[in-house]
Chains A and B, each alone.
Chain A
Amino acid sequence: MATSEGRTESDEAAGAAPAEDVAPVRPRRKLPPRRPDQLPRGRHGLSEDQVAASQRNRILDAMSELAGEEGFYTTTIADVIKRAGVTRKAFYKRFEDKEQCFIAAYERELARLLTLTLEAFETQDEWADRVRAALSALLHALARKSTAARVCFIEVMTAGPRAIASRNEAMRGFTIIFDVGRLEDDRARPPALALNMVGGMSEIIHREIAAGKTEELPAVLPDLMYTAVLPILGPEAAERELERGNGRPATTDG
C-alpha cells in the first residue's frame, strides 16, 4: 500500500489547480479537519496512481472506522467521504456503492488479522503451541482494535449477500491452522473438520464482541484452545490447555 509515498507533503507549490478531488471550498462553512494522511491541497507533484492509492486508503480507513463505531447500516457514504476528506465523485470513482466499499475495507482488515495470526502460528513447533500463539495473537489484535473486530465479526454479517460471500471465503484462510493439526493427527479426520472448527471459533468470538466484551477477548483463549485441541488431541490434552490458562507460548506479539 502506497500510503508512505502519499505522505510526502513537501511540495506545497503555489499553483491553485487541485490535482486531487478535494471538497470544493465553501466560503461560509468551515472545512472539516484534515486527516494527517490527507494529501496537501494544490499542486503536489504526486502521480495519479499515488493520489488514487492515498484516497482509496483513506476511504477504506474511514469506512472501517465508521462501520466499526456506528455499524454498517447507520454509516452513510456522506459520513465516509467527510471523514476520508474526499469528494463524493472521488468515492464513486473507486467504489460502486457503500457495500462494495465496505467489502474492500473488510477484506483489508481481515487480511491484516490473518497475516498476524499466521505469523504467530509459525513462531512455534508443536501444533498446540502454534495454535495457542496464533489465537492469542488474533485475540489481542482484536482487543486492541475494536473497530476492526466489529467490522470482521459483526458488521460483515449485516452488509448484504456479497459481503457474506466474501466473509465465507475469507474465513477459509484460517482453516490452515486446523488442517495442519488434522493432517498431523494419526487418525483420519474429515476434511471439513477445519472449516467446522473455524466456524465454531468465529461464533465464540462473535458472541464476545456482540456482548461488548471485545477488550476482554484474550480471556477466552483457554476456551478456544480447549475447543481447538479437543477434536485433534483428545480430552486430556484439551483439559491441559484449560489449565494453561491465558499463558502464551514464548512469542512476539506487537
Chain B
Amino acid sequence: MPDHRYRASRAALVSGVSAGRARPDQIRGGNLGLTPEQVADSQRESVLAAMREQVAERGFKEVPVADVIARAGVSRKTFYELYASKEECFVALYEHELERLLGPALQAFAGSEPWIDRLRTAIGVLLGNLAADPVAARICFVEVLAAGPQALERRNTAIASLDSLFDRASGTAGERAPRARTAGAIGYLSEVLNREIGAGRTTRLPELRAELMYTLTLPFVGPQDASRELEMDGSAVEVGADEAGERSFLTAYGAAAADLLGRVGAAVAGVDDTPGSAAATSATPTAGSAAADGAPADRIRAGVQALIAFCAEEPDAARVCFVESLSAGPAARARRTETTARLAALFEQPLRELRPSERIARVSAIALVGGIHELIFEAVDRRAAEGLPTVDTVVAAARLEPTPKR
C-alpha cells in the first residue's frame, strides 16, 4: 500500500477539510450568475439535508413539508418542482444514504479471498458504517418501512440486490446461490438491523458481527464452519495491513478530493473563496474572479485553471487524487470514479450553454475531464509542476470560444 507516500501531507489535508470548507455546490445569497440547473442542484441538496434532519428528529410520518422547506430555505413551489411529494423526496434521500452505507461494503466484498472472508469483511464494513452514521442507518433500515408504497418498493429492490453477497458462496454448486437460501439470509440480516437500529443500539452494531456471520453462513457452509465464525472476536477483526492501509488512504483521499472539488466548484461558480489557498488566488488571478459574471467559457476556464493550480500547489494531494487512488484498492477506485463524475458535473453546467443538447453537454464534460486526466497524469505522478498543461491546452479539445448562434 502506498501508505508512506501520502503520510506527510495527510495531517494538513485532513485539517483543511474538517475546517468546514464550503461545499462547491452551496449557494449563498444572490444567484451569482448560476444557471437554473445549478440552482436546482443546490436546492435539491438543501432539501435532502433538511429532510434528513427532520426525519432524524421526529420520524418520517411526523415531518411536515412546511418544516422541510423552512429548514432548506426554499419555497413550497420549489419543493414541489423538485419532488412530486414528500414521499418522493424521502425516496431520493433513502437512495442517497443507502449508497453511502452499502457502497463501501460491496466494494470491500470484491476480492480474491475465499467467499467467507470477503463476506466477513463486507459485513464488518457495513456495521461500521451504520454505527458511524445512526441517522442514515435509521433512514435506511427503519424509516423506509413506514414511508409509503414507493419507498417500500425501492427498499425491496435494494435489499434484493444484496443477493450478490451470496453468489459463489462456498457450499453452493453454481455461480449463483439458491435464491431461497439467500432470501432467508438477507431477510434475517435486515430484520436484525431493523430491530437493533429501532431499539437505538446502532453504535453497538459492530459487536454483532460474529453472531451475524454465524447465521448468515450457516445455510451455505454448514454448522462446523459457521461456528468458527462465532469464535472470531468482533473487536479482533483482522484488519489486515492492506485493509488498514486502504482505510487511512481513504481518509487522505477524502480530504484531497474535497479540496479539489471545492476549488474547482468555487471557480466554476465564480465564487472567489478558496480558503487555505491564498497562494492560489494570488498566483492565478483568473482562477476565481474572472468568472464572476459567468460567461460559460470563462467559468470553464476558471475551473480548469483551479484544477491545474491545485496540482501545482498540492502535488501530494493531487497525486493521491489522480494517481494513487488507482492502486489503493477497490474502495479507493470507487471514490475516484465518484470524484471524476462530480468534476464532470461541475463542468457540465456551463457546457450546457455552449452545446446543442444536454446530452452533448454531458458527453463534452466527460471528455473534458478525461482529457485533463490524460494530460496531467504524468506530471502529477512525478509531482512535476512544470510538466502540467496550460489552460489553453486543456480546453483546446473542448472548443470553448463563443460560437455564433444560428
Bound Cα distance from A73 to B246, whole angstroms: 15
Bound Cα distance from A199 to B323, whole angstroms: 15
The answer to whether B111 touches A203 (Cβ under 8 A) is no
Q: A53 at interface (Cβ–Cβ under 8 A)?
A: no
Contact partner of B333 among A157, A161, A236, A242, CB < 8 A? Answer: A157
- Chain A 193-237 near chain B by CB (<8 Å), digits 1 or 0: 101111111111011001000000000100100110011001110
The answer to whether B326 touches A157 (Cβ under 8 A) is yes
The answer to whether B399 touches A242 (Cβ under 8 A) is no
Given contacts A73-B112, A193-B397, A196-B394, contact A161 B327 (CB under 8 A): yes
Bound Cα distance from A155 to B373, whole angstroms: 17
Bound Cα distance from A190 to B395, whole angstroms: 10
Residues of B within 8 A of A21 (CB): none
Bound Cα distance from A226 to B369, whole angstroms: 16
The answer to whether A206 touches B370 (Cβ under 8 A) is yes
In the assembled complex, the CB of A138 is this many whole angstroms from the nearest CB of chain B, namely 15
Residues of A within 8 A of B403 (CB): 234-235
Nearest residue in B to A160 (C-beta to C-beta)? B327
Bound Cα distance from A227 to B372, whole angstroms: 14
Bound Cα distance from A189 to B396, whole angstroms: 8
Q: B398 at interface (Cβ–Cβ under 8 A)?
A: yes
Residues of A within 8 A of B337 (CB): 210
Q: A170 at interface (Cβ–Cβ under 8 A)?
A: no
- Chain A 160-188 near chain B by CB (<8 Å), digits 1 or 0: 11001000100100000000000000000
The answer to whether A223 touches B374 (Cβ under 8 A) is no
In the assembled complex, the CB of B270 is this many whole angstroms from the nearest CB of chain A, namely 24
Contact partner of B393 among A73, A193, A202, A234, CB < 8 A? Answer: A193
Q: B375 at interface (Cβ–Cβ under 8 A)?
A: yes
The answer to whether A201 touches B367 (Cβ under 8 A) is yes
Nearest residue in B to A203 (C-beta to C-beta)? B370
Contact partner of B326 among A71, A73, A164, A236, CB < 8 A? Answer: A164
Residues of B within 8 A of A239 (CB): 356
Q: B158 at interface (Cβ–Cβ under 8 A)?
A: no
Nearest residue in A to B110 (C-beta to C-beta)? A73
The answer to whether B363 touches A196 (Cβ under 8 A) is no
Residues of A within 8 A of B112 (CB): 73-76
* Cross-chain pair count, CB within 8 angstroms: 107
Residues of A within 8 A of B111 (CB): 73-74
Bound Cα distance from A168 to B356, whole angstroms: 32
Q: A192 at interface (Cβ–Cβ under 8 A)?
A: yes
The answer to whether B371 touches A199 (Cβ under 8 A) is yes
Q: A158 at interface (Cβ–Cβ under 8 A)?
A: yes
Q: B38 at interface (Cβ–Cβ under 8 A)?
A: no
Residues of A within 8 A of B369 (CB): 203
- Chain B 353-395 near chain A by CB (<8 Å), digits 1 or 0: 0001001100110111111111101100000000001001110
The answer to whether A227 touches B367 (Cβ under 8 A) is yes
Listed residue (A73, A171, A200, A210) with the most chain B CB atoms within 10 angstroms of its CB: A200
Size of the A side of the interface (Cβ < 8 Å), in residues, is 40
Q: B234 at interface (Cβ–Cβ under 8 A)?
A: no
The answer to whether B373 touches A199 (Cβ under 8 A) is yes
The answer to whether B366 touches A207 (Cβ under 8 A) is yes
In the assembled complex, the CB of B10 is this many whole angstroms from the nearest CB of chain A, namely 20
Q: B178 at interface (Cβ–Cβ under 8 A)?
A: no
The answer to whether B326 touches A203 (Cβ under 8 A) is no
Residues of A within 8 A of B375 (CB): 192, 195-196, 199
In the assembled complex, the CB of B165 is this many whole angstroms from the nearest CB of chain A, namely 14
Residues of A within 8 A of B398 (CB): 230-231
Nearest residue in B to A189 (C-beta to C-beta)? B396
Bound Cα distance from A202 to B373, whole angstroms: 11
Residues of B within 8 A of A168 (CB): 374, 377-378
- Chain A 72-114 near chain B by CB (<8 Å), digits 1 or 0: 0111100000000000000000000000000000000000000
Given contacts A75-B112, A158-B326, A199-B370, contact A193 B363 (CB under 8 A): no
The answer to whether A235 touches B327 (Cβ under 8 A) is no
In the assembled complex, the CB of B58 is this many whole angstroms from the nearest CB of chain A, namely 38
Bound Cα distance from A37 to B375, whole angstroms: 42
Given contacts A71-B110, A200-B367, A239-B356, contact A190 B374 (CB under 8 A): no
Bound Cα distance from A79 to B364, whole angstroms: 40
The answer to whether B396 touches A242 (Cβ under 8 A) is no
Residues of A within 8 A of B323 (CB): 164
The residues in B between 326 and 346 inclusive whose CB is less than 8 angstroms from any CB of A are 326-327, 330, 333, 337, 340
In the assembled complex, the CB of A62 is this many whole angstroms from the nearest CB of chain B, namely 15
Bound Cα distance from A73 to B112, whole angstroms: 6
Nearest residue in B to A175 (C-beta to C-beta)? B374
Task: Give the 5 A-B residue pairs with the shortest CB-CB distance, closest first.
Answer: A203-B370, A199-B374, A200-B367, A196-B371, A200-B371
* A–B pairs, 6, beta carbons within 8 Å: A74-B110, A190-B392, A190-B396, A196-B393, A223-B359, A235-B399
Assuming A195-B374, A196-B371, A203-B369, what are 15 further A-B pairs, CB within 8 angstroms? Answer: A71-B110, A76-B112, A161-B326, A189-B396, A192-B389, A198-B374, A199-B367, A200-B370, A203-B371, A204-B367, A226-B360, A227-B363, A227-B397, A231-B397, A239-B356
Chain B interface (Cβ within 8 Å of chain A)?
110-112, 323, 326-327, 330, 333, 337, 340, 356, 359-360, 363-364, 366-375, 377-378, 389, 392-394, 396-399, 403, 406
